[in-house]
């Protein structure tokens, strides 16, 4: 006998759910922006306690002090994101027939809980030193916190796109070459973001302080090496590799006859984001890490991942829809 919740589940277009899922995928960029700004100005420890800030949800002076504003607004935005994710996961579980989509909602909820814990432990464990390391345990947790945020962005976009009318009603008969190139580009962007988070939270953003060259005498490869220089140089090398593959991916979207007009517009946006990201990366070096430049670089990096993932995810629409409509296996006899 079907349960009451399963009897409510359908796979058709649900306008209210689609709008709610889209709102969550937009709100996450507010959270990413505030998190990036908080790190850029070094305000991660503006409050020594958690989950409250100076023992209050409305701490004295937080609207007047930029460091306090950055950190507390990031916490408040994260709390709202948590409530949105709980609502989204519950809504999907109650109303969505596609099992894989319900699972995605569950994973979004798991990740937002882990993110909250990591964000809190970054504060409460800040005083614990790690032997032979130049950062505390709390500071080290900033790296997985930043990496997991990017995966969370992808999951929210996947849910929002799968709930949209275009996904449910429009076929996307693109070729396997486009799908495979998209998966490779998503993997490369995520790898670059892992390198970037490691570089950023190890204070290596200016370990190579010239651009585009790596030395003042115009050499492409650094003369002296340590971990910070190596991770910074790896970030630059990956930027070159990504530029080639993302342009190739955008071109493949343009030429594939099965790509939708929205996908072709997304490909153009991807190239524009790539160009902007390179300019911002150069400005970080030339302006000696101005907060607005570093914040913009992080946000545009997240947007680049979002567009790359969206194009790749949408390219897999037909195979995922076939999975949704596949007949369930026959139940075994009792």
Would you place residue 325 in the very low, low, confident or very high pLDDT band (cuts 50, 70, 90)? low
Angstrom CA distances, 3 to 6, 9, 11, 311, 329, stand at 5, 10, 17, 36, 18
CA 86 to CA 81: how far, in whole Å? 9
Residue 321: predicted pLDDT: 79
**Both 30 and 154 in a single domain?**
yes
pLDDT digits (tens, 9 = 90+) for 78-112: 999 999 999 999 999 999 999 999 999 999 999 99
Residue 114: predicted pLDDT: 96
Helix (H, G, I), strand (E, B) or coil at 260: coil
The runs of H, that is alpha helices, within 170-226 are 176-201
CA 295 to CA 285: how far, in whole Å? 13
pLDDT tops 50 at residue 331: no
Lowest mean pLDDT among 110-124, 179-193, 320-334: 320-334
Provide mean pLDDT across the span 194-212.
92
Provide mean pLDDT across the span 266-272.
97
pLDDT tops 60 at residue 43: yes
Domain end among 128, 149, 169: 169
Tell which residue, 242, 153, 238, has the closest CA to residue 199. 238
Provide mean pLDDT across the span 155-169.
95
Is residue 256 a part of any domain in this protein? Answer: yes
**Both 207 and 63 in a single domain?**
no
Own/partner pairs, 244-252, CB within 8 angstroms, 24+ separation: 245/181, 245/184, 245/185, 245/188, 246/185, 246/189, 246/270, 246/271, 246/274, 246/304, 246/308, 247/271, 247/274, 248/181, 249/178, 249/181, 249/182, 249/185, 249/308, 249/311, 252/177, 252/178, 252/181
Is residue 88 a part of any domain in this protein? Answer: yes
Residue 252: predicted pLDDT: 97
Is residue 331 a part of any domain in this protein? Answer: no
State the distance between the two ends of the chain, measured CA to CA, in whole angstroms.
14
Residue 129: predicted pLDDT: 87
Q: Report yes or no: 162 and 101 within 8 Å, Cβ to Cβ.
A: yes
**Both 165 and 24 in a single domain?**
yes
Residue 3: predicted pLDDT: 56
Nearest 5°: CA angle at 109, between 40 and 16?
100
Residue 334: predicted pLDDT: 37
pLDDT digits (tens, 9 = 90+) for 240-254: 999 999 999 999 999
Is residue 239 a part of any domain in this protein? Answer: yes
pLDDT tops 50 at residue 1: no
Lowest mean pLDDT among 123-127, 223-227, 325-329: 325-329
Would you place residue 11 in the very low, low, confident or very high pLDDT band (cuts 50, 70, 90)? confident
The domain that holds 244 is classified in CATH as 1.20.120
Residue 159: predicted pLDDT: 97
**Both 160 and 32 in a single domain?**
yes
Provide mean pLDDT across the span 124-129.
91
What share of the chain in percent tops pLDDT 90? 85
Average per-residue pLDDT for the chain: 92
Provide mean pLDDT across the span 18-28.
96
**Both 70 and 153 in a single domain?**
yes
Q: How many domains does the chain have?
A: 2
Is residue 60 a part of any domain in this protein? Answer: yes
pLDDT tops 70 at residue 330: no
Domain end among 169, 204, 233: 169
Range of the domain at 148: 14-169
Residues 6 or more apart whose Cβ sits within 8 Å of residue 188: 238, 241, 242, 245
pLDDT tops 80 at residue 288: yes
Domain end among 169, 184, 216: 169
Is residue 9 a part of any domain in this protein? Answer: no
Is residue 232 a part of any domain in this protein? Answer: yes
């Amino acid at each position: 006998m079907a349960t009451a919740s399963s009897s409510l589940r359908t796979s058709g277009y649900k306008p209210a759910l689609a709008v709610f899922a889209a709102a969550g995928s937009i709100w996450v960029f507010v959270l990413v922006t505030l998190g990036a700004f908080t790190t850029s100005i070094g305000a991660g420890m503006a409050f020594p306690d958690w989950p409250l800030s100076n023992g209050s949800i409305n701490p004295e002076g937080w609207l007047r002090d930029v460091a306090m504003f950055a950190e507390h607004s990031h916490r408040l935005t994260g709390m709202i994101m948590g409530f949105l994710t709980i609502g989204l996961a519950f809504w999907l579980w109650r109303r969505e027939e596609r099992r894989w989509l319900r699972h995605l909602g569950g994973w979004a909820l798991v990740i937002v809980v882990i993110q909250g814990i990591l964000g809190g432990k970054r504060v409460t464990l800040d005083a614990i030193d790690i032997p032979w390391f130049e950062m505390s345990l709390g500071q080290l947790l900033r790296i997985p916190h930043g990496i997991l945020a990017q995966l969370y962005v992808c999951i929210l976009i996947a849910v929002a796109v799968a709930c949209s009318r275009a996904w449910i009603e429009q076929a996307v008969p693109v070729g396997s070459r486009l799908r495979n190139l998209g998966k490779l580009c998503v993997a490369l962007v995520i790898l670059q973001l892992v390198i970037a988070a490691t570089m950023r939270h190890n204070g290596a953003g200016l370990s190579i302080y010239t651009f585009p060259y790596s030395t003042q005498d115009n050499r492409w490869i650094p003369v002296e090496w340590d971990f910070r220089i190596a991770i910074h140089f790896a970030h630059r090398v990956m930027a070159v590799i990504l530029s080639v593959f993302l342009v190739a991916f955008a071109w493949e979207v343009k030429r594939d006859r099965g790509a939708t007009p929205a996908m072709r517009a997304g490909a153009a946006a991807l190239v524009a984001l790539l160009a902007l990201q390179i300019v911002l990366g150069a400005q970080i070096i030339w302006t000696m890490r101005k907060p607005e430049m570093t914040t913009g670089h992080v946000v545009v990096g997240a947007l680049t991942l979002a567009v790359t993932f969206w194009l790749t995810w949408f390219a897999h629409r037909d195979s995922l829809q076939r999975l949704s409509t596949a007949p369930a296996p026959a139940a075994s006899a009792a």
